[in-house]
Structure 1
């Protein structure tokens, strides 16, 4: 691809970002491409399991083809609990472009006066981590992920397109998204800047990029690098990461003729966090296997739930005082060929009018310290808080 054509694609990508409005079914940007869906052609029928949802997606695409849609694609969001309703639809059209420029025109977000309520309160969250550690020490679990939420109420409606632009500016290497969760004129938007690819399928090739093990970054370059190097050497974080990688590899192996799983993770960074990262790649036995089939085989990974899955879910239900909804679910797309891309819905918020709920979680293992896990969730909240101009909003 020559430089002129590459530049044109990036200009087109910026146009898609600037053209986003909240009635769009989805805006989705990665380091590989940008897409903006427009209009509503049909909805995917409700389903009570991920397996049933995959059948419903295939049926919706088949029906759209039969009624004249030239290129049907399913887009949207799937919740943490696969038995709960997903928000998937076939748009009338999808505009595509290359990746967003790494240097977008910078906005300086003005502080939005908000009231903030923690769910649960920070000390209650730390107590929940201590309770989970006791379970882990008793060998009931290898890992569990515990989340917190922040409920924000602003004096006026939140400017969602502006927030999306700010998130894209700060997330050049990750996945920036906005999904319309509402069929009514009043939008309810799932918006975020996730660093984590659950599954990408292109022809016979499949990729996954599990992240587990995190550390907050520092504004001091020397200290920042030391934190990253310490994360690479942390026995606690390496164990947490290994649990996730092994589970993802086990989920993909039955579908693959070859699977490459690196022996050790590498460092990946966002604006606020260091992460341990492993890039898994493979070749499918059957090219007809859809991206959603593969994603469903992995969801939810130990990176957002825990291991073993059933025991982790039970403990999450006991400790977390809210329904996760689409947080730690997946956002993405699947086309008529089965190709697609699904990311894990983290570093995200749900917005309706002047209210916004933020989410952040931390992976708990037997060596976890409650104060450290509380600090990790606070650091993860800053991705969205910074984007809203709430940098000095106080401790969260």
Structure 2
């Protein structure tokens, strides 16, 4: 077993890095890739892993990312070398940020006022009926005057919040001359499986974190008491429990949500736990459950198809990998997949990041705009550019 800091230091663009409270993983090289259509990826992964194991590879796994839309690009590979370590240390990041010293140009897509107008359009649709919730995202495109050091950016994300699900995935499209990396620090566990135990931890309902302790306590109380946020959260938890019920004989849902914090946000959180009947069933792998859960109402809406259509119409930018899923699954079906939020795609001097907010009846367009600004801060802080929101 390696030390977590060693894996982080050994990361280079093109590798796959993933860390969470469960541990750290660094994968290099490609034995084979997995290509399959939406709804068939878990089966293709299981077949590929069985084939690789039969060929003599000990305990193989698939790592990678899947985009938001059913037809989105995917990056799923069986790596040649895998190193593991414990969870990242909670040591403070003593590395001085050099990113903020660069000159940057920033293009918001859409402009903040246009995003608020989109929220008002979504609220009109909700009032008209047929749509209960939709998650609308906005994008920031940043360009620096020098090449961005992806390993340094990943290290700052991990050290800023060691409890997050941090990741870096090579998502370079075929034929692209430069490496494109999807990286982030997601607070939201989509699903994990270890033997029979299944855990999902949906988050929905959010407020920005304050600098003052007393104000944070007020915001936590406000979040717990918010009818709008609790309704938004209930949409997500209900769907997650319903989907896991297709795989698990017993699903336990907390009676009340808790509040969990990141360095920039407070979220309503529910830890949903289940137990599968047959851990050897390839149809119950971690990826199979992740595919069934995706997209949850936390990143799409209710009903799913109607919300996804509204997103395609109202959002000017294709989300790509944002609000998709990233993680790993091994030959036994165990694994861990998280929702691809608090993330960005980085290529050479360019950074493209998204942040979204859940729109339900009673949402305030300016408050939702402020929520997206707060969510951008995870990446902007790591770049030394928090003031840009």
When structure 1 is superposed on structure 2, of 130-139 and 359-368 the one drifting more is 130-139
Question: What's 2:194 paired with?
Answer: 202
- Corresponding residue SS for 2:230: helix
* Runs of 5+ consecutive residues of structure 2 not aligned to the other structure: none
CA distance in 1, matches of 2:199, 2:53: 28
Question: What's 1:233 paired with?
Answer: 225
Q: Deviations over 1:95-146 (max 9, x none)?
A: 0111011114422213132100001110000000000011111222111000
Question: What's 2:255 paired with?
Answer: 263
For the 8 Å contact 1:48–1:84, the answer to whether it is kept is no
Query: How many angstroms does 1:81 deviate by?
Result: 1.2
Query: How many angstroms does 1:294 deviate by?
Result: 0.8
CA distance in 2, matches of 1:232, 1:35: 35
CA distance in 2, matches of 1:239, 1:265: 11
**255, 275, 278: which is aligned to 1:283?**
275
CA distance in 1, matches of 2:375, 2:211: 15
**Is 1:345 the counterpart of 2:340 in the alignment?**
yes
**Is 1:126 the counterpart of 2:102 in the alignment?**
no
Question: What's 2:133 paired with?
Answer: 143
Aligned length: 382
**317, 324, 336: which is aligned to 2:319?**
324
**Is 1:253 the counterpart of 2:245 in the alignment?**
yes
Query: How many angstroms does 1:65 deviate by?
Result: 2.0
Question: What's 2:82 paired with?
Answer: 94
CA distance in 2, matches of 1:381, 1:264: 28
When structure 1 is superposed on structure 2, of 103-112 and 371-380 the one drifting more is 103-112
Q: Deviations over 1:35-86 (max 9, x none)?
A: 00011111002x221x211222122212222333222100000111123231
CA distance in 2, matches of 1:229, 1:304: 24
**Is 1:52 the counterpart of 2:52 in the alignment?**
no
**Is 1:188 the counterpart of 2:168 in the alignment?**
no
- Corresponding residue SS for 1:268: strand
Query: How many angstroms does 1:170 deviate by?
Result: 1.1
CA distance in 2, matches of 1:306, 1:107: 39
CA RMSD of aligned residues (A): 1.3
Question: What's 1:13 paired with?
Answer: 4
Question: What's 1:85 paired with?
Answer: 73
Question: What's 2:328 paired with?
Answer: 333
CA distance in 2, matches of 1:297, 1:159: 35
- Corresponding residue SS for 1:238: helix
The two structures have a TM-score, normalised by structure 2, of: 0.96
CA distance in 2, matches of 1:241, 1:392: 29
The two structures have a TM-score, normalised by structure 1, of: 0.94
* Runs of 5+ consecutive residues of structure 1 not aligned to the other structure: 1-8
Question: What's 2:152 paired with?
Answer: 162
CA distance in 1, matches of 2:387, 2:123: 32
- Corresponding residue SS for 1:373: helix
Dislocated runs of 4+, deviation >6 Å: none
CA distance in 2, matches of 1:294, 1:279: 16
When structure 1 is superposed on structure 2, of 245-254 and 169-178 the one drifting more is 169-178
For the 8 Å contact 2:204–2:236, the answer to whether it is kept is yes
**Is 1:222 the counterpart of 2:217 in the alignment?**
no
CA distance in 2, matches of 1:74, 1:187: 20
CA distance in 1, matches of 2:278, 2:58: 25
- Corresponding residue SS for 1:254: coil
CA distance in 2, matches of 1:255, 1:55: 15
Query: How many angstroms does 1:285 deviate by?
Result: 1.9
Q: Deviations over 1:175-230 (max 9, x none)?
A: 11100112666210000010000000011110000000000011111112211111
